[in-house]
Amino acid sequence: MSDLWSAPVATRPLSWEMRVPGSKSMTNRAYILAALADGPSTITGALKSRDTELMEAALQAMGIGVEHDGDTVHITPGPLHGASIDCGLAGTVMRFLPPLAALADGPVHVDGDKQAYARPMGAILGGLRDLGVDVDGDSLPFDLRSSQVPEGGEVTIDASGSSQFVSGLLLSAPRYRKGITVRHEGGPLPSLPHIEMTLAMLEDAGVRVESGENRWTVHPGPIAAREWKIEPDLSNATPFLAAAAVAGGTVAIQDWPDSTTQPGDEIRAILSEMGVEVSRADGSVAVHGGGALQGIERDMGPIGELTPTVAALCALAETPSKLYGIAHLRGHETDRLKALAAEINGLGGKVTELDDGLYIEPAPLQGGTWHTYHDHRMATAGAIIGLRVEGVEVENIATTAKTLPGFADLWTEMLEAK
């Protein structure tokens, strides 16, 4: 098959330092806030990937000015009008844009990749209906329109499928006449750090917010035009740090923020729990590998996006691991729990799929095809295992362009560095 990538095996300890591109989560939140601001804004350090390009194109289709000048993106708000927009497979686009599109003067048709049709959307579309928006459909594709600026107010949703349902409603809430209060009722709320990121960025734009247990209020008012400086994407950094843990040697990530709401920051604690040395100096975080990996037992609910990286490490550990609290991963780009179990077991692993997680036992692995299901994090997980297991062929490594274009070249460059 022409779309198979032979994952390179590490033949010596690594010695590599890099700066990863900007955070997808922060970039697409900044796009929404800049599009609704009371004047032109700039975004520096923005990620350039399929997900962020889809966000740009959707905003432009609705009347927002987007211009690139080197590393800076200039956003000029304008009257929002009806349009047809494409979400691809991007959760931040399909969940963040509908509340903004409800502010448009005209109907908005929202579509995406066929695989995205199965991704949960009912919570946010039902929430918009409760706020007075006319929505036709409960999943992609759907149509929405408002006869006037939506009144807003309080809405109760089940956000156990994705924290993006909460963030999507809150990001556009200042432009609703009464703002929006979101109450979550349902199963455990995943990825709380991403909601904290949303609230922090709203406050940075001068918006008044309040939060309590499973309840968040964003008050109506202006969104300040400003310069957004995007942090490096720490979740995209995790495969490279994991590489040092697997292959030995040292990998350092530059410009690691002193404090952050990004879930990727938790990789430092996870690697330490697995017996790997992690250090911090001069604004960089470095991982020093070489020893045997130890299994862990961990609630991954708040940091579910790290699960593919951590599962790959656990598959190479010498003691069992249990990763739990991540039932919501079944509604991501693919059913990540099912996919991880199938692919690790396909290489000879011993993974038991739990209702809300994975139980991973030590087992000798051999080469074979690693399917990615058009999921960027499945692709990087295969690359991690391939560092130690010869003959791992990763299907469609190009899917990593969703959040990290050029991943395969960076990975090879890391392994060849001296």
Which residues does the annotation place in the binding site for phosphoenolpyruvate? 24, 91, 119, 164, 336, 377, 402
- Cβ distance 84 to 54 under 8 Å? no
CA atoms within 13 A on the CB side of 315: 33
CB-based burial label for 4 (10 Å; 0-12, 13-18, 19+) = middle
Backbone phi, then psi, for 252, in 5-degree steps? Answer: -120, 140
What residue type is assigned to position 68 of the chain? Answer: H
To the query of whether residue 305 is one of the catalytic residues in this protein, the response is: yes
**DSSP letter (8 states) at residue 70:** T
Residues comprising the binding site for 3-phosphoshikimate? 24-25, 29, 162-164, 191, 305, 332
Residues comprising the binding site? 24-25, 29, 91, 119, 162-164, 191, 305, 332, 336, 377, 402
- Cα–Cα dist 202/124, whole Å: 19
Catalytic option among 231, 266, 305, 333: 305
HEC string of 235-273 equals: HHHHHHHHHHHHHCEEEEECCCCCCCCCHHHHHHHHHHH
Instruction: Tell me what percent of the chain is helix, strand and coil, each rounded to the nearest 5.
Output: 40, 25, 35
Structure tokens at 44: 């520096």
User: What amino acid positions are annotated as catalytic residues?
Assistant: 305
